[in-house]
Chain A
Amino acid sequence: MYTEKYNGQYRKYVNFIKRYRAASNAATGSEVDSNANVENKNIATCSGELCKREKIGCNRLLMMDKITEMFNPELAEEYIRQLESHELYKHDETSIYPYCVSITMYPFLFSGLKGLGGMAAAPKNLDSFCGSFINMVFAVAAQFAGAVSTPEFLMYMDYFIRKDYGDDYTERWDETVTAPGVLRQRTMKDLVHDKFQQIVYSINQPAAARDFQSVFWNIAYFDQPYFHGMFDNFVFPDDSEPCWETLSFLQKDFMKWFNAERLKEILTFPVETVNLLNDGHEYVDKEWADFAAEMYAEGHSFFTYTSDSVDSLASCCRLRNEMQDNSFSYTLGAGGVSTGSKGVMTININRLVQNAVRDGADISERVREQVEKVHKYLLAYNAIVEDSFNSGLLGVYNAGYISLDKQYLTIGINGFVEGAEFLGIDISPNDRYFEYGKMILEPIYAANRAAKTDSIMFNTEFVPAENLGVKNAKWDAEAGYVVPRPCYNSYFYKVEDATCNLLDKFVLHGKLMTQYLDGGSALHANLDEHLTKEQYQKIMEVAVQTGCPYFTFNVPNTICNDCGYISKHKLDRCPKCGSENLDYATRIIGYLKRVSRFSEARQEEAAKRFYDDGQIKV
């Protein structure tokens, strides 16, 4: 009797544990949420995965109740039908948290961790700032399913260094700053680098409270015009203001340090974004644009965001024109302050296109119909988040780190390239492909703008789709749709296409396509070897000319599995010990990870990626 009861209720969990034990790595073992950020396959990650299907069911019932309450039961049924038939995907259904956030740390300056349920008071010096900052990042991340961005991190750190060591600390960079009796004498530079190390290694530590995932942590660097645009009205608790000269120095030093540190360990986080203003022709702050090119040439891997408007980045305190387009808010990276996505629902464009053709329907009209429904679904989801907020469950919001009206409700796009291929469109910079982009994206863009209110903002993003790209391709193939590859692209180009050169990719991720993508996309320019600073400068100019707002360069790093040597080049043999037992690190969809940590399906996709030599085209 008991055997039957327990078999009926719990056998599936026991079976899951057995399958998880046998899986090649943690991402592959996950049946609903494969994610290379789960570095270790262990009892904690197994436990985290165990009940995810139940959480999905719970979230769907919450949504059905809310859609019925706000709209009608038929729409609630339609929501589930769309999810189960894979026309639509709700990201991170395995958690009940909001999705991702870029916080203002201002409350932390005045209240420390107390607003987040901690005990530490406001940081008073560099030591307490660094320690409490780590705890703050973990505390905030505990209430979000995805990324946590702290764009002000280095600006605040600079403030506390100046408080402890004076405004001229950069001029005394190589001077000893420890007391004479201290055995381990440290220069100013040593001391700051020790703090970098403390923070970065601590935050990269897989966290028990997050099912043994590390925090998905983003930071931003600002050039001078963006700095002034964002922080000219900013005042620290002692009434002092941020200092551009020392912040610029610290930003550069952190980038240099982090790049060098990645020769010791494959440090995934922070994901970095350099924000560079352009005037429509060239970068305004040439010193910072040159520095970014220099860092790319030195093998560092980070995102660059560029725009011709300071208002394109979200700010905690800046008033924006309501007629203006949405500010940049990409779920993978950091840009502005006080932004993010409360939730993301992604449309399977390949399936939508094929269904429209099958039914003889107008594709743009089908997009409009779908967006109308997604807006309602997202409004229902927003109401659920508001219910949590009103019940005091969202401490990060209550404490003032972010507000609900500053975050977007996001419509994701996946299967875009595959839908175009189904229509026989060549995936290259050509009029037909751009017209297809307009046909799909413009109706969403227009609907988002029309639906904007004082408290609700929608945006559209070409989502990274780390595991969704694989899932959609699998589901569509099983349902008999035309599926050209086992993982849908996360970009406007085909990752395996050797004929699509570097410049083509910038054009495809340029203004012609992204003008209707108000939430962003990320061009990953895969290169087989690093270019020179001058070559990167030229390519970065191409980004301005093509209107490509967000990009990175991706050269695989090599890790020797025998001696641990790390190279920023793709090698066939370890130059230190001669071993051919090598692993490679590359961006899975935005963040740097060992390929062996990717899910098996994503490893297949990674193996097919075309890496451009970049030489002739530049």
Chain B
Amino acid sequence: MGRNGNRRRSAIYHITVQGALDTAWQEWFSGMAITIDQDTDGVLTTLKGPVADQAALRGILNKLWDLNLTVISVRREA
């Protein structure tokens, strides 16, 4: 059935936070690739990588919040 068809597939997420996060944190965030960009808003860090499901996404966001990082955007690759 359609409703079950893609329920266990992971998706690629891009999560952007304010400030520069050391790439050494990569492993901490389930191996998501960390890139740092200079933007008009200042320095931004983007974590990019596969996220297994919504629970995993929530876990990652919680970790970011626990480090008091400000989340700017969360985007899922189509």
Q: Is the A/B pair a real complex?
A: no
Q: Interface of A with B (CB < 8 Å)?
A: none
